Amino acid sequence: MVATTRTHELVQIAAAAADAKGGEDFVAFDVSEPLPLVDAFLLVTGSSERGVAAIADAVEEAMLEAGQKRLRREGRQESRWILLDFGDLVVHVFHEEERVFYGLERLWKDCPVIPVQTPEPAPQG
């Protein structure tokens, strides 16, 4: 089984929202093979607790606008690692230190990578 086209679209929507709030270091994995209830993980980094919270809030808002309700959220109080579960897509928003410490990229390295495209920055004039 592979992640659906809709899941790929949701990855891009979530990534664009995270990017707009300063999210960095985007990586998405198709985890549909080892995890039957989830199609994809999106990992994103924020540079501070406030940044992590803002990124998570923006992702939630964008996903709701796209018709995808959040099923579960964890970690909002500390804002060091916020997990947002949208069913087929789970978004992990990390503070830089937590991302390095937990190393989810190492855990899921055997899964196919989903290309993440974020908007190009406007040219500086």
Residue 69's pLDDT is what?
Answer: 94
Indicate whether this model's pTM tops 0.75: yes
Angstrom CA distances, 12 to 6, 78, 107, stand at: 10, 26, 22
Pick the CATH number of 5-114 from 3.40.50.880, 3.40.50.300, 3.40.50.10610, 3.30.460.10: 3.30.460.10
Lowest-confidence segment of 30-44, 80-94, 106-120 by average pLDDT: 106-120
Q: What contacts 37, CB < 8 A, 6 or more positions away?
A: none
Is the pLDDT at 124 greater than 70? The verdict is no
- The structural domains of the chain, with segments of one domain joined by +, span 5-114
- For 20, the token pair is 């707009």
pLDDT over 70 percentage in the chain: 94
Residue 121's pLDDT is what?
Answer: 63
* Mean model confidence pLDDT for the chain: 93
Determine the 3-state secondary structure of 17 from DSSP.
helix
Residue 125's pLDDT is what?
Answer: 58
Is the pLDDT at 64 greater than 70? The verdict is yes
Residue 52's pLDDT is what?
Answer: 97
Cα Dmax for the chain: 48
pLDDT over 90 percentage in the chain: 84
Is the pLDDT at 42 greater than 90? The verdict is yes
H-type helices in the chain, by residue range? 5-20, 49-65, 96-102, 104-107
Question: What type of residue is 48?
Answer: S
